[in-house]
């Protein structure tokens, strides 16, 4: 299993970095949209939709909403939408902590789960595209901010796993994900702080040099909310009786299993960065 995970990561990471730095904005938007449609298919399974037309219908709805965003979204509404996504993840935090209240395992609530899927998936497209493109959020530093966000999550995952295995005793959300601990959260924040230190020392981004403590705060909040993203998907999978969202990535499960934390982290990072650069 570990070998499969490492091999998949070695293949996917260069592809992702190539997409971030080499793809023109319109092609990158299409690339993220394809990822979103795959994730929407997996989310339709979490909704416990059995009939193929219904699952395809949900995927088509996500595709239509993404196309509408691509057509009509502008700088004046990007920031409010990102803020709305951040507020959603704050609400999701309370939801995770209260589970299973209101979301008993084995019950069918496809409409509710479908609406949550829209709130989870669409902000990922907005945030990822905003971080990759030149504009009010990134300034001229295209690619760098999205890459930093991704490495924050990779480092947090590694730090959380390592600290959890070595020191984990205090359960974080035992009803949702029994393996996660508060010690793992500490490891995730440590990993994020390490990435911020590396960026401050070696990456020529003026805002990081000028406002290092504010940037560190954004990074830590990004990692903290990424953990909520991971737990939220785990909560809905547990509600639906699923172990993984899919099996498209060997050793990793589905696309959603890989991007659940990024779904929460990307809007937080993009919104925080927009405030720093304002």
| pLDDT tens for each residue of 50-101 | 899 999 999 999 999 999 999 888 777 888 999 999 999 999 999 998 888 7
Taking CA atoms, 185 is separated from 94, 108, 134, 167, 226, in Å, by 17, 31, 33, 11, 11
Tell me: pLDDT of 206 over 60. Answer: yes
Sign of the C-alpha dihedral computed for residues 160, 164, 167 and 168 taken in this order: positive
- Look at residue 134 in the predicted model and tell me its pLDDT: 63
Report the distance separating Cα 278 and Cα 270, nearest Å: 12
Q: pLDDT band at 236, cuts 50/70/90?
A: very high
Average pLDDT estimate for 245-266: 81
Instruction: Please check the confidence at residue 233 and state whether its pLDDT lies above 70.
Output: yes
Taking Cα atoms as reference points, which of 133, 123, 109, 132 lies closest to residue 48?
109
Share of the chain above pLDDT 70, in %: 91
Token pair belonging to 217: 């705060």
From the list 124, 157, 134, the residue with the least C-alpha distance to 26 is 134
Looking at residue 214, its pLDDT comes to 95
pLDDT of amino acid 137: 61
Mean pLDDT, the chain, whole residue set:
88
């Amino acid at each position: 299993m570990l070998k499969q995970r490492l091999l998949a990561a070695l293949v996917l990471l260069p592809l992702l970095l190539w997409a971030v730095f080499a793809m023109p904005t319109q092609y990158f938007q299409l690339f993220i949209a394809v990822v979103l449609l795959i994730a929407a298919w997996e989310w339709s399974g979490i909704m416990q939709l059995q009939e193929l037309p219904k699952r395809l219908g949900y995927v088509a709805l996500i595709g239509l909403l993404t196309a509408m965003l691509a057509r009509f979204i502008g700088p004046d509404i990007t920031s409010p939408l990102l803020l709305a996504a951040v507020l959603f993840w704050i609400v999701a935090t309370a939801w995770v902590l209260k589970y299973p209240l209101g979301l008993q395992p084995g019950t069918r609530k496809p409409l509710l789960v479908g609406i949550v899927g829209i709130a989870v998936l669409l902000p990922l497209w907005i945030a990822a595209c905003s971080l990759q493109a030149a504009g009010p959020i990134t300034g001229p530093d295209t690619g760098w901010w999205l890459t930093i966000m991704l490495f924050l999550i990779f480092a947090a995952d590694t730090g959380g796993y390592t600290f959890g295995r070595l020191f984990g005793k205090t359960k974080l959300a035992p009803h949702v994900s029994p393996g996660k601990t508060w010690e793992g959260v500490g490891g995730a924040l440590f990993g994020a702080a390490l990435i911020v230190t590396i960026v401050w020392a070696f990456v020529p981004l003026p805002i990081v040099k000028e406002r290092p403590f504010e940037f560190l705060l954004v990074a830590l909040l990004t990692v903290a909310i990424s953990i909520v993203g991971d737990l939220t998907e785990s909560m809905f999978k547990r509600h639906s009786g699923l172990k993984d969202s899919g099996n498209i990535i060997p050793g990793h499960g589905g696309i959603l299993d890989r991007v659940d934390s990024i779904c929460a982290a990307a809007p937080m990072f993009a919104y925080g960065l927009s405030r720093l650069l304002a």
